[in-house]
Amino acid sequence: MWRLFLWLAVGLGVSLASEAFAATDPCQAAGACREIGDVRLPGDEGQSQSVHVGQTLPWVVDNNVLLFPGETVVISLPQKQEGQLPMSLVATGEAAKTRNLQAGELRFNFEVGDSGMLLIATSAHPRWLHYMAVMVTPDGAPSKTSVCPIIAGKMAFESWPHGIVQLALTNFIPVGEEELVCS
pLDDT tens sequence across 116-155 = 999 999 999 999 999 999 999 988 889 999 999 999 999 9
Q: Which residues contact 15 (CB under 8 A, 6 or more apart)?
A: none
CA distances from 48 to 39, 42, 60, 133, 155 (A): 10, 4, 27, 23, 27
> Residue type for 161, please?
P
What confidence category does residue 8 fall into, taking pLDDT thresholds of 50, 70 and 90? low
Contacts for 47 with CB less than 8 Å, ≥ 6 apart: none
| C-alpha closest to that of 49 among 138, 111, 110, 117 | 138
Question: What band does 109 get if pLDDT is binned at 50, 70 and 90?
Answer: very high
φ and ψ at 5, to 5 degrees? -70, -30
Contact between 122 and 111 under an 8 Å Cβ cutoff? The reply is no
Q: For residue 6, what pLDDT band results from cuts at 50, 70 and 90?
A: very low
pLDDT of residue 165: 95
User: Measured over all CA atoms, what is the biggest interatomic distance in the chain, rounded to whole angstroms?
Assistant: 47
The ranges assigned to domains in the chain are 2-22+40-179
Distance CA 122, CA 78 (A): 16
Q: What number is the average pLDDT over the span 157-162?
A: 94
The mean pLDDT value for 21-49 works out to 82
Residue 12 has pLDDT above 50, yes or no: no
Residue 154, Cβ neighbours under 10 Å: how many?
12
- pLDDT > 70: what percent of the chain? 86
The pTM of the full predicted model, rounded to 2 decimals, is 0.86
Q: Report residue 15's pLDDT band, with 50, 70 and 90 as the boundaries.
A: very low
Please state the φ and ψ torsions of residue 35, each to the nearest 5 degrees.
-85, 130
Question: For the sheet containing 105-112, what is the strand order?
Answer: 88-92, 72-76, 105-112, 117-123, 155-160
> 20 by DSSP, 3-state: which?
helix
